[in-house]
Amino acid sequence: MDKIIVHGGRALAGTVKISGSKNSALPILAATLLTKEPCVIHRVPDLSDVHYMLQILNHLGAEVERASGVVTVKAEKVSTVAPYDVVRKMRASVCVLGPLLGREKEATVSLPGGCVIGDRPIDLHLRGFESLGTAVRVHAGDIKVFAPRLRGASISLKGKFGSTVLGTDNVMMAAVLADGVTVIQDAASEPEVVDLANFLNKMGAKIEGAGSSRIVIEGVPELHSAEHEVIPDRIEAGTFLIAGAIAGKEVTITRVNSQHLTAITNALESSGYEISGNNGSLTIQPNGTLKPLNLRTEPYPGFPTDMQAQMCALLATAQGESAVTENIFPQRFMHISELKRMGAAIELDGATAKICGVDGLSGAPVMASDLRASAALVLAGLKAEGMTEINRVYHIDRGYELIDEKLGGLGAHIERVKV
């Protein structure tokens, strides 16, 4: 097990390239199960979650080749069973349910694992499958789905805390091979859903409306091979923008889609940072005193829940009082206790973190609880005086490609140590 040690106080400057999106790559790789023909996916990030997904595809019978960010998958024959030992490490493994159901009309997948950030049920996925004519059974930790045939239907995927991204992905992948037309109401509109829909359309699917709350899918008899490039990771991009905000002189991120980052850049500009650039790159630099903010996480295009922890790290030293309300996963605040170990003044009031800015943070041993909390602790370490030791960094390797090397390239004093 590795740990990351950050020696704070170094000013960051320079350029960093953003990797392909984890949250796009995982369902797109799962979607290759929908055809017997080979599919080629470019700009696949080198992450532990991606490794797990490729292992799952291998277990299901697919031939997988990987070289320099390019993954080729040929699923000529597939198994329909993904047991616990295969899927336990990653919640996104549940997204193989949709393509297996669409192609084979049955699947058995163990309930997945992943980050501990509160209850994240998959009842909306299963409700969508049932609307398509699927029998669903959850027994002994396994999800079993079966349908003699899939029939198009009108489906709502609205949940207690908004639309479900993976649920939209899963139902969309099953519906592309259903008979008739499927209409997904209250669909998630995140760019990653659009990316998956674009890939499916390249495979011969007929999907319209991705990126809106209403997606229309006309079922087709079969899909074929396709080649696709994964979109840039907007959460990695946002994390490096905050790195530039928290400790930078002038940091530029490249290979980004700035339209996907509007909520993040708006928040940073409101807190006193100057951001410039174009659709392919963005530059952030200080512009006076860091100002406090009131933020609420919302489904896209609102401020993303996956950036909440990083923003808490930034606002910890904003003079005045800030408030960050978590509307997607109200229990997603396990990083708060670790930031307080570093000197942050943060109190929880229900689903709101009330942050009273302090003059500075101090390095301390801290424990990563989940993927984005890990990133927040690294960012706080960049700002803190002294040494911050972040344990359990296997979490950060799930979603950030070479984060220590990329930050080191910007001038951070950061090292990875084997324990």
State yes or no: is 115 an active-site residue.
yes
Measured distance CA(173)–CA(102) in Å, rounded: 7
Question: Is the omega angle on the peptide bond into residue 301 within 30 degrees of 0, that is, cis?
Answer: yes
Q: Name the token pair of 260.
A: 């996907």
Q: Which architecture does CATH list for 2-18+232-418?
A: Alpha-beta prism (3.65)
Strand order in the sheet with 39-42: 63-67, 70-74, 39-42, 227-229
Buried b (16+ CB within 10 A) or exposed e, 391-419: bbbebbbbbbbebbebbeebbbebebeee
> Using the 8-state DSSP alphabet, how is residue 260 labeled?
G
Out of 39, 95, 115, 312, the active site residue is: 115
**pLDDT (0 to 100) of residue 113:** 53
In this structure, what token pair is assigned to residue 265?
Answer: 């850049």
Cα angle, residue 213 at apex, residues 209 and 214 outer, rounded to 5°: 50
- Dihedral sign from CA coordinates of 251, 253, 257, 263: negative
Using CA atoms, how far apart are residues 266 and 282, in angstroms rounded to an integer?
Answer: 13
What is residue 12's predicted lDDT score, i.e. its pLDDT? 97
Per-residue pLDDT 10s for the chain (419 aa) are 789 999 999 999 999 999 999 999 999 999 999 999 999 999 999 999 999 999 999 999 999 999 999 999 999 999 999 988 888 777 778 999 999 999 999 999 988 654 443 444 688 999 999 999 999 998 888 899 999 999 999 999 998 878 899 999 999 999 999 999 999 999 999 999 999 999 999 999 999 999 999 999 999 999 999 999 999 999 999 999 999 999 999 999 999 999 999 999 999 999 999 999 987 999 999 888 899 999 999 999 999 999 999 999 999 999 999 999 999 988 899 999 999 999 999 999 999 999 999 999 999 999 998 899 999 999 999 999 999 999 998 889 999 999 999 999 999 999 999 88
Q: What is the pLDDT of residue 30?
A: 98
Domain 22-229 coded CATH 3.65.10.10: yes
Same fold, 2-18+232-418 and 22-229: yes
Q: Provide the whole-model pTM.
A: 0.96
Tokens 């109200």 sit at which residue? 330
pLDDT at 121: 67
CA 393, distance to chain mean position in Å, is 17
Which residue type sits at 275?
I
| Residues contacting residue 45 through CB under 8 Å, at least 6 positions apart | 19, 20, 21, 22, 25, 69, 230, 233, 401
Q: CA of 348: how far to CAs of 241, 291, 331, 336, in Å?
A: 25, 20, 10, 8
Q: Where are the domains of the chain?
A: 2-18+232-418, 22-229
